[in-house]
């Protein structure tokens, strides 16, 4: 069983796992602490965002599901819409050195520029996987929303369509946008958790 699981985690294909492993950051729970350095050398910790909204997004530049959302401009548009509303956004790379998606700081800066990423959505370089494991990040992308009280209010997929084809995006329901819109309006989040889809995080 351990060998089978390792084989699954090593692939770049679609990975959807049940929430039996790594599942630490669930809606209603306190967000796990973290302290990570971004590609520009700045340290970010959970306490830096106390009293503020924070979105965490797991990223792997080589994952076709990440390419779906970045190649179409969907993720960048989402980042801009909400960072313009003073919501913080951190993009996390938990790929280990030697694994798919791993980036040195200079490489990460180049990738950020190539993806037209805003400076308000910096890459955190979590090469040892400590942050990813603390949050239970399984896939790229995998999304988490943390409220100003430090609680996770959403965890899961970016939307409800697990196809890697960007053509489906206009017809998809974006869970992250819906959760943020509801929260900022003081309303209940209709879907607070969902099954994450994408490529396995390369710990």
Half-sphere exposure of 140 (CA within 13 A, CB side): 29
Q: What is the DSSP letter of 176?
A: H
- Average pLDDT, integer, range 25-41: 96
Beta bridge partners of 199: 14, 140
Residue 115 pLDDT grade (very low, low, confident, very high; cuts 50, 70, 90): confident
DSSP E strands, the chain: 35-37, 43-45, 54-58, 88-93, 123-125, 139-140, 143-146, 152-156, 199-200
Place 7 in a pLDDT band, splitting at 50, 70 and 90.
very low
* pLDDT of 10 over the 60 cut: no
Mean pLDDT of 178-191: 96
Decide if pLDDT at 6 tops 50: no
Residues 21-34: what's their mean pLDDT? 84
Given a cut of 50, is residue 14 above it in pLDDT? no
- Domains of the chain plus CATH, in order, are 22-32+49-200 (3.40.30.10)
Instruction: Please report which confidence band the pLDDT of residue 114 belongs to, taking 50, 70 and 90 as the band edges.
Output: confident
Confidence of residue 121 (pLDDT cuts 50, 70, 90): confident
Please give the model's pTM, rounded to 2 decimal places: 0.87
Which is more confidently placed, 24 or 60?
Answer: 60
**How is residue 169 annotated by DSSP?**
G
pLDDT at 15 over 90: no
- Weakest mean pLDDT among 23-27, 64-68, 91-95: 23-27
């Amino acid at each position: 069983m351990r060998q089978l699981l390792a084989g699954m985690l090593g692939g770049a294909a679609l990975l959807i796992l049940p929430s039996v492993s790594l599942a630490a950051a669930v809606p209603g729970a306190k967000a796990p602490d973290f302290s990570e350095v971004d590609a520009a050398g700045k340290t970010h910790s959970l306490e830096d965002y106390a009293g503020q909204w924070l979105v965490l997004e797991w990223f792997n530049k080589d994952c076709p599901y990440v390419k779906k959302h970045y190649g179409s401009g969907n993720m960048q548009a989402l980042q801009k819409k909400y960072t313009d509303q003073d919501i913080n956004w951190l993009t996390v790379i938990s790929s280990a050195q030697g694994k798919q998606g791993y980036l040195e700081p200079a490489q990460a800066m180049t990738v950020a520029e190539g993806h037209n990423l805003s400076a308000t959505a910096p890459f955190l370089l979590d090469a040892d996987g400590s942050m990813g494991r603390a949050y239970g990040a399984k896939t790229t992308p995998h999304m988490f929303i943390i409220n100003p009280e430090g609680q996770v209010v959403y965890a899961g997929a970016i939307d409800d369509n697990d196809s890697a084809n960007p053509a489906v995006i206009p017809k998809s329901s974006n869970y992250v946008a819906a959760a943020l819109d509801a929260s900022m309006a003081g309303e209940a989040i209709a879907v607070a958790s969902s099954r994450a889809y994408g490529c396995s995080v390369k710990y």
